Chain A
Amino acid sequence: LPAAALQTPDIFATGSWDNEDNRISIWSAGDLGNAGLNGEYHGEPHLLCDIQHNGDVMDMQFLDQERIVVASSTGTVTIFRHHQNNQTLSANHRWEKAHYHVDQDTSCGGAACTGVVCNNPEIVTVGEDGRINLFRADQKDAVRTIDNADSSTLHAVTFLRTTEILTVNSIGQLKIWDLRQQRNEPSQIFSLAGDRVPLHCVDRHPNQQHIVATGGQDGMLSIWDIRQGTMPVSLLNAHEAEMWEVHFHPSDPDHLFTCSEDGSLWHWDTSTNVSEKPSFLHQGGRSTAYLSHSTINQSVVSAWLSNDPTKDRMEITNLIPNQTLSVNSLDVLGPCLVYGTDAEAIYVNRQLFA
């Protein structure tokens, strides 16, 4: 049921997919003050309000405290406003058919908008039509549109810096776009060598902006250093099926979370100093060439770039044992983790580091 989940400190929003009648819902994660230190927590998350949404919810993100940007499979991008005083949702602004095939005016021309990212007031969306749109929350028309930015489907987008964005596509490429430049070309292209495995998600390290994580169709987690090379620094065998989302913990970036079609949700932890941990990872073969660069200055370089097999410091835990249906979405903030699955359930985990 839920396609996406994200949160501000005490509420989170979800969107559904593959229903005849899809909905955007706002949930209260419960009063965090009540969460006892002993790990016992009694409050159930409860529904505050919801609103009908046209098409599958493909992606969503909070623009600010009360506005949510939602990407639809119909190609429409909508801003919903959550009125906190009377707990209602309303459509605040809508860009109809921001993504489209062939012709914007024909009735069936909408193409699914697959990813959205906001940096108030700017909103960037990408879609199956390979188009990149830049919106401003207060402007009626798109500020900038790059038609045919990609020949294949763009799956996800994130901000690298305020003027630069990163996109991943279905032929295993990671592209950097500089929105200041008028050229409709990416400023840099990175790609997985050879096998062209589609990438489904991308996230940037919150503090060290050159570190980027992506997840692919084969469940592989790739860590990229965008300062050097055109290939990933390391490839980590992870899930058995499509990795749908990857997120660095926003305030504790030694932790990374990934979820996948195979029904698992993994917590990657590089903060532990226990070396010689038995590990079920293997290092991507072609990454070794780059390690020599990054190992020069161990103390400064993030753990994400220095994980060579001999002193592997990463600890990985699967947070959902025995789940069979896909985990479509996750978000993490502070001690909270929210994820939604195809078993039509949403889970909230409040003691991430307990």
Chain B
Amino acid sequence: TGAPLTDPVPPQVVPGADSSARQLCFAWGPAEVLVCETLFGRAGGCRSRGFSRSPCPSRFWREGGAGAAALALTGSFAGTEDGAPSSSRVFVVRRDQDIYIQALRKLFNESHGIFMGLQRSEEELAGKSRKAQLVQVSKNYRSVIRACMEDMHQAAVSTRDPALQGQYSTQVSILSAMELIWNLCEILFVEAATAGPLLLRLLDWVRLHVCDVDSMVREVLSSESPSKHELFWNVVDVFVLQGRMDEARHLLSKEASANPISMNMYKILDDLMKKMPVPSLSNTHTLTELELKWQHWHEECQRYLQDGTFASNPHMESICKILLGDEDAILEKKELMTTWYHFLVTRLLYSHPTVKPMELRFYAQSSMDLFLGRESSPEPLDMILMAAFEFEMHQVIKECSIVLSNWWFVAHLTDLLDHCKLLQSHNLYFGSNMREFLLLEYASGLFSHHSLWQLGVDYFDHCPEYGRVYLELHIERIPLSTEQKALKVLRICEQRQMHEQVRSICKIMAMKALRNNRLGSALSWSIRAKDAAFATLISDRFLKDYCERGCFSDLDLIDNLGPSMLLSDRLTFLGKYREFHRLYGEKRFLEAARLLLTLMTAHIAPCSFWMTLLTDALPLLEQKEVIFSAEQTYELMRCLEDLTAGNSDKQKIQDDDIETTKVEMLRLALARNLARVIVKEGTVEGS
């Protein structure tokens, strides 16, 4: 199904499509695939690829990777051909199913804002402040994920429908995994923490994400006497394992005050824990200084363990062993750590506090092996984290694309990493680069959504190579339900000089208006699109209506055409012809007559309309005072003769009585007018 970075995509089954009995065919669309059953049986022809049955591969994740297809709706039954016994079905398969989850809309909308901010923040800042800015962006993304997670959690708690509840909690676990991965990437790639601070960051990371034990901690702390609680030592261990020394010491002091006999022992342990040197963020100590101090402290711990100071208390002895970084002692607390990466960080804390980024991979691999043992194999999430520890950024993105059911994560993460200038070297064999590829996929998903398409536009804008082509293809497929929506789409196209699309949108709207008999609106739309042909068509409709009804509709529009009148000849004529009527109505006969004549002599009026124009001249000819001059009358006569001559050639037979009467009347009127005008002009000149 065309996943971007890998060949062996786990095949997915389209529910309902029976590929064992029939061959399937498919056609790609911009956001979805059409799959249909053919009439061919399984045996003949070549096999259709892709949609064959296979066991579902994912366990931890929800069924369906981002590259994989998920059925969104089954189409209507197509008609059967040649009386075939069963009907074929057409399936519409959409790619990015998470887009349709209502609760994630907040994620999409909010992250859009962050994304846009990141694109705008280009490069002004250099060095440290740029890095701080990028880290802030990354944190913003994460806080949006967390906010969504909380919403989803609330929804899961408040709903009563168990199926829905299950859905929500799966979503919560996916979101939390996304946040976990993102956070690690932030530490390793975006911030690129160096030896020292690196460990502190990893500790924060573990504290934030290993929260299975939090409830236990809360229970113990809220009990009346924590030190009597059966889980007391577990909680102390949790604190020690996570490097939360102050909290551990606080708890221990309670136990100590309740247990005066072993006071000395507590004091020593407390002292050790207090003295433990930790890397500081402020870089006041150099690494070597720290290493020296740490070595010293380590030896002190070793001494106390060997001389049996804690021998009387197995709990405290094991804590001391942990402080010494004893792997077996730490592994004993497996239940409290729950994950191998917790084990990794604890191990680093107590045995290699100044671990360098590049050394991480060795510790990570061995920690995972030690922790998982032989009985369990790593899950997809483990593989992703491992890839991150190995600094295999592309591997991280690849695995995430396969395993996550949305493009949101990889698209935004890749974009961020690209802004950190970490992905330049990598080129795909197709498309432009990975960032653009993933953004295009994500934005295409947005466009297939009923309401989220507006977000997609901005993502396409930031894909330099193919963004525009994608946008052009997608924008044409937005259903234009109301004029307001059409205006919004139109604005998007106009801002990007997409003339072809502007024309097509206006045409669609004009056609719609025309079908609804809204000539005025239709004309407005075609004027906006500067679509001369369509304007002509509508003008003709106006003129036809006029011929039929004898009056104009939509005067407010036609009177206000202004310069747009020049868009098409027919429109010009319509405007001018209306102007003639207005002049006539205002009894400005001389101007009206002149305009009428120009309409014919300048060939603005279509020939089919000349008869109407000449008929309109009749009342002017019959006015009491003479309006047409001799010259004008001659021209009118010529027009009439041209018209009748042209007619007699073609449609002599069709000549009906009314037409001939009209022509006769006109001729009579013209002759009389000519007579009057000769007399008048003669007298004027004579006097």
Contact = CB atoms under 8 A, between A and B. Distances in A.
A189, A324, A345: which has the most chain B beta carbons within 10 Å? A324
B562 A195 contact: yes
Given A101-B517, A344-B105, A194 B554 contact: no
Interface in B447-485: 450-451, 454-455, 458, 481-485
Q: Could you say which interface size class chain B belongs to?
A: 35 or more
A150 B520 contact: yes
Interface string B133-150: 000000000000000000
Nearest to A129: B518
A241 interface: yes
Interface string B169-213: 000000000000000000000000000000000000000000000
Contact of B516 (A129, A171, A196): A129
A352 interface: no
Given A151-B521, A326-B488, A344-B109, A194 B562 contact: yes
A171 B524 contact: yes
Contacts of A1: 451
B560 A242 contact: no
Contact of B113 (A153, A191, A343): A343
Contacts of A56: 481-482, 484-485
Nearest to B449: A20
A98 interface: no
Contact of A18 (B485, B487, B519, B553): B485
A150 B523 CA distance: 13
Contacts of B120: 322
Contacts of B518: 101, 128-130, 151
Interface in B68-107: 105-106
A128 B521 contact: yes
Contacts of A189: 556
Secondary structure type dominating chain B contacts: helix
B450 A18 contact: yes
Nearest to A22: B451
Nearest to B487: A242
B564 interface: yes
A114 interface: yes
B219 to A, nearest CB: 31
Contacts of A195: 562
Contact of A170 (B112, B117, B451, B521): B521
A222 interface: no
A242 B562 contact: no
A114 B455 CA distance: 24
Contacts of B458: 324
B488 A261 contact: yes
B485 A151 contact: no
A76 B485 CA distance: 18
A56 B488 CA distance: 14
Nearest to A149: B556
A271 interface: no
Contact of B524 (A152, A242, A261, A345): A152
B563 interface: yes
Nearest to B117: A322
A73 interface: yes
11 contacts: A18-B450, A18-B485, A20-B450, A114-B484, A129-B518, A152-B521, A171-B556, A173-B556, A261-B491, A343-B110, A344-B106
Interface of B: 105-106, 109-110, 112-113, 116-117, 120, 450-451, 454-455, 458, 481-485, 487-488, 491, 495, 516-521, 524, 527, 553-557, 560-564
List of 10 A-B pairs having minimum Cβ-Cβ separation, nearest first? A151-B520, A151-B554, A101-B516, A151-B557, A112-B482, A73-B482, A152-B520, A344-B109, A18-B451, A20-B450
